[in-house]
């Protein structure tokens, strides 16, 4: 039997590394332990660490997509978790705030803990196609809802931290340098989850094709159609977020192609499975071998091979186009982050005196 092509494992691992990095893109590496002369000195240390890591993590996320380096998801998540937990320990033990005011430090720790929780419970993992494809469509749908809920809650926590930071700088009569546009990492995450959801259902489709499950095939195609409607609706909302609409357009293109599979594959798959079932019926019949029964069996084998080859000819072509679109999406995502993920890198642009 012909094996179904699967998505490149390196691409999946690269995507997962990117998602982990994007979600921790607001975390600083260290905060110095010392008594600060004034608020400017305190914010100087705080902001330089935070802004440096924002930029370096963004640069790193772009570079690993471009180079297509392979790295194990589990190792990456463990490394990031270890780093985040170490950061919290350092901050708790060493950073005493400014003049006893620890609101900025505490908000930072709380945000960090939210990131740790999300990494540990798996809600930020967006490449578990194989695992998801073994679940029922109902379970997959429930997982989608949970991941989206967790994603929204995560970015709400980031926004709370930004509010805390604004209040802290305002208390000391400093103007907080805020970007009033859309959060690039949040926007990117919402685009990523649309891409992820479509790929999960497509992986499920591949598994039901392998098992020659006509009902499962129909259900997957119906869910892909629903996902297509959701993607078209949400990308229509997202199109005005940035002048650069390349990532939004890439999701639209990918979704349109995925939805087009039903028209190309539906009748061919049903014919293929029908012939397979007919052949199995002949194989299991306990009738004497005669010239007629042997001829009927051989004719059934020929019909089955014909239907099978017709289906896989279209399916393989479809997979080839899909792989190109999948790879192109990764490139567009990388380029989008590189072109739009710019952070302020000097203290004077972060906060300044009234």
pLDDT digits (tens, 9 = 90+) for 91-141: 788 778 888 898 988 888 888 788 778 777 777 667 778 888 889 999 999
Predicted local confidence at residue 55, as pLDDT: 57
More confident residue, 194 or 178: 194
328: Cβ contacts below 8 Å, ≥ 6 apart: 250
Mean pLDDT of the chain: 79
Helix (H) or strand (E) holding 175, with range, is: strand 174-176
Which of these, 237, 259, 258, 257, lies nearest to 248 by C-alpha position?
237
Over residues 138-159, the mean pLDDT reads: 88
Residue the block writes with tokens 């963004």: 58
In the chain, where are the structural domains located? 9-353
Q: Is the pLDDT of residue 261 over 90?
A: yes
347 pLDDT above the threshold of 60: no
Comparing 55-69, 101-115, 125-139, 157-171, the range with the smallest average pLDDT is 55-69
- Stretch 37-49: mean pLDDT, rounded? 77
Instruction: Please give the structure tokens belonging to residue 49.
Output: 């660490």
Can you tell me the distance from the alpha carbon of 296 to that of 78, in angstroms, rounded to the nearest whole number?
60
CB 231 within 8 A of CB 247: no
In this predicted structure, the answer to whether residue 60 has a pLDDT above a threshold of 60 is no
pLDDT confidence of 41, banded at 50, 70, 90? confident
Structure tokens at 129: 């196609």
In whole angstroms, how large is the CA radius of gyration of the chain? 26
> Facing residues of 352 across strands?
175
Q: Once rounded to an integer, what is the mean pLDDT over residues 47-69?
A: 52
How many angstroms separate the CA atoms of 22 and 16, rounded? 10
* pLDDT surpasses 80 at 25: no
Question: 287 vs 60, which has greater pLDDT?
Answer: 287
* Mean pLDDT within 46-69: 53
Distance CA 299, CA 147 (A): 50
Provide DSSP, 64-123.
HHHHT----HHHHHHHHHHHHHHHHHHHHHH---BTTB-HHHHHHHHHHHHHHHHHHHTT
Which H or E run contains 334?
Answer: helix 291-340
Q: Tell me what the mean pLDDT of segment 1-22 comes to.
A: 46
pLDDT at 69: 39
**Which token pair is 44?**
């100087």
- Residue 67 has a pLDDT of 42
pLDDT at 352 over 50: no
Q: Of the segments 76-85, 121-130, 185-194, which one has the largest average pLDDT value?
A: 185-194
| Residue 28 in this model has a pLDDT that exceeds 60 | no
**Does position 213 have pLDDT exceeding 70, yes or no?**
yes
Q: With beta carbons less than 8 A apart as the criterion, state whether 283 and 309 touch.
A: no
Residue 72 pLDDT greater than 60, yes or no: no
Structure token pair of residue 302 = 């020929």
Distances from the Cα of 56 to the Cα of 68, 188, 293, 294, 345, angstroms: 18, 17, 71, 70, 10
Contact at 8 Å (CB) between 137 and 203? Answer: no
Question: Chain-centre distance of CA 22, in angstroms?
Answer: 10
pLDDT interval class at 329 (50, 70, 90) = very high
Residue found under tokens 């463990």: 78
């Amino acid at each position: 039997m012909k094996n179904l092509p699967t998505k490149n494992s390196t691409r999946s691992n690269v995507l997962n590394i990117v998602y982990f990095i994007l979600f921790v893109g607001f975390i600083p590496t260290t905060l110095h332990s010392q008594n600060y002369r004034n608020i400017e000195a305190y914010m100087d240390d705080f902001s330089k660490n935070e802004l440096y890591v924002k930029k370096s993590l963004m640069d790193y996320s772009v570079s690993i997509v471009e180079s297509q380096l392979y790295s194990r998801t589990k190792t990456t998540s463990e490394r990031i978790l270890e780093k985040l937990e170490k950061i919290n320990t350092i901050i708790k033990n060493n950073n005493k705030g400014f003049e006893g005011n620890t609101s900025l430090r505490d908000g930072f720790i709380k945000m960090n803990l939210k990131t740790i929780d999300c990494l540990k419970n798996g809600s930020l993992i967006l490449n578990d196609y194989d695992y998801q494809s073994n679940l029922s469509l109902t379970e997959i749908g429930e997982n989608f809802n949970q991941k989206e809920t967790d994603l929204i809650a995560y970015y709400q926590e980031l926004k709370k931290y930004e509010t805390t930071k604004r209040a802290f700088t305002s208390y000391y009569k400093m103007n907080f340098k805020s970007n009033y546009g859309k959060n690039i990492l949040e926007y990117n995450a919402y685009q990523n989850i649309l891409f992820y959801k479509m790929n999960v259902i497509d992986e499920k489709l591949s598994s039901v094709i392998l098992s020659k499950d006509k009902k499962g095939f129909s259900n997957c195609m119906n869910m892909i159609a629903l996902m297509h409607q959701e993607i078209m609706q949400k990308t229509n909302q997202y199109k005005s977020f940035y002048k650069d609409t390349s990532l939004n357009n890439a999701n639209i293109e990918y979704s349109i192609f995925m939805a087009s599979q039903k028209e190309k594959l539906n009748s061919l798959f049903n014919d293929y499975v029908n012939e397979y079932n007919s052949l199995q019926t002949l194989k299991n019949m306990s009738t004497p071998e005669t010239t007629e029964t042997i001829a009927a069996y051989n004719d059934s084998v020929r019909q089955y091979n014909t239907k099978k080859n017709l289906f896989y000819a279209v399916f393989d072509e479809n997979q080839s186009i899909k792989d190109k679109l999948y790879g192109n999406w990764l490139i567009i995502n990388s380029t989008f982050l590189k072109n739009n993920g710019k952070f302020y890198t000097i203290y004077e642009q972060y906060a300044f005196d009234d």
